[in-house]
Amino acid sequence: MQTDDAASKILEATKNSGLHYKNSIPMIASENILSPLVREACNSDLHGRYAEGLPGKRYYQGCEDFDTIEEIGIELAKSVFNCNFANIQSTSGTNSNLGVLKALTKPGETITAVSTADGGHISHARMGAVGMRGLNLVTYPWNEERMEPDIDASAKLIREIKPNLVLFGQSVFLFPTPLKELSDAAHEVGAKVMYDGAHVMGLIAGNQFQNPLSEGADVMTGSSHKTFPGPQGGFVLSNSDDPKFIKRLNNGIFPGVCSSYHLHHVAGKAIALSEFEKFGEDYAKDIISNAKALANALAELGFDVLAEERGYTASHQVLTRHGSVDSGAGKEAASILEKSGIITNMNMLPGDTKAMKPSGLRLGTPELTRVGMGVSEMEDVAKFFSRALIDKENPQTIKNDVKEFKSNYQTVHYCFEPGPAYPGL
Ligand code: DSN
């Protein structure tokens, strides 16, 4: 292949990145891999095309076939998420959040959300989308034992400050949000309720976590590429039958925060939705049973796993603490694990105040589940953790063993045509 230096380096690094994941144990809770059919849609000619507006009401010619794709995708999203309205255009979870903030708030209004220190997403923060919309942010009192907003104190807060929008959902997300109780308080003061399900979209669609739209959320946003295993992108969903509200949501996305959106990813999302209809419930169940098995195995080996009293987790995530708060021990652990072939991320846990020196790790099971690992493999994974972090074995020896172990898990499952998980590598 004829390339210049830069292109060669980029292609080589791209291949190496793929090989890194292929030969590792990937446990970033927000990541996943594509099925062969979704990958085909994402690699199609659609990647360079434009379509602004909604199906049948476009600003460009040439959209007839794409209209078919988006119409099918919308119907599938409504069916998979059991709701009346779906917009599948947004290009990420944050982009969905920005669109909804544009639709439902005005600068200077007040929003309540989970603080980033307690696991809230960056787009819920002043430094992110909430700040960009010029909103006053008030964060919920947090129950550290239960790893959720303190129900009584948060309901009291909502009744006192009367926010315009009440936002729930986190990036560190072990347990369902007590939504019914808190939505009642929000609706009493005339606030709309928004639930950011980015991390748990697949668990919700698979009926294994909570059903925010029937527990009081007026709108749910989320990513299409975490526990919901599609291409990178977002969703905006609602059960409202108010056409004005729906129009505001659609307008929040276009022309609010997207002009063109990523048509190839919309096609990929639509295929992922159709695969999820058939395989999603099993996938969601397996992700959660793997997370529970991993948490139990790590705890038995002596790791400090959070939320023991609640059974450690009811989601795709497990949290472990590796030293005292703000010690940076989580960062150190993530680095040792990566040298040992295990990809994780450091994370702030209750008490930590420094994002770059946290004491914790956040571990996710979506990708391991997708390549066919089950409960017994979670015990194998926990043993690799123990060798790296407790026994302090030579990381390279562990990395070689991880590569051999992972060579047995190279097929993507829960899709129409199981195929190579890391194709072309
Ligand atoms: N920051 C991402 C995560 O890993 O949770 C979500 O956007």
Domain ranges, ordered by start, for the chain: 38-273
How far, in Å, from the CA of 242 to the mean position of ligand 1? 32
Q: Which residue in 419, 362, 386 sits closest to 300, CA to CA?
A: 386
* Atom nearest to 199 CA in ligand 1: 5
Q: Do 290 and 378 touch, CB atoms closer than 8 A? A: yes
Residue pair 123/130 in contact (Cβ under 8 Å)? The answer is yes
User: What spacing in Å lies between the alpha carbon of 287 and ligand 1's midpoint?
Assistant: 18
The fold of the 38-273 domain, in CATH, is Aspartate Aminotransferase; domain 2 (3.40.640)
Contacts of 190 (CB under 8 A, 6+ apart): 162
Mean pLDDT of 201-220: 98
Q: Which atom of ligand 1 is nearest to the CA of 93?
A: 7
Task: Give residue 60 CA to ligand 1 midpoint distance, Å.
Answer: 34
324-364 residue pLDDT tens: 999 999 999 999 999 999 999 999 999 999 999 999 999 99
Q: How many of the other CB atoms lie within 10 Å of CB of 383?
A: 17
Name the closest-CA residue to atom 3, ligand 1: 30
Closest CA to 421 of 38, 5, 73: 38
Q: What is the pLDDT of residues 68-122, one digit of tens each?
A: 999 999 999 999 999 999 999 999 999 999 999 999 999 999 999 999 999 999 9
CA 175 – ligand 1 centroid, Å: 17
At residue 343, the pLDDT reads: 98
Task: Quote the ligand 1 centre to 121 CA distance (angstroms).
Answer: 7
Q: CB under 6 Å to ligand 1: residues?
A: 30, 93, 121, 171
Q: Give the pLDDT score at 1.
A: 61
What atom in ligand 1 is closest to the CA of residue 30? 4
pLDDT tier for residue 260 given thresholds of 50, 70 and 90 = confident
- Threshold 0.85, pTM exceeds: yes
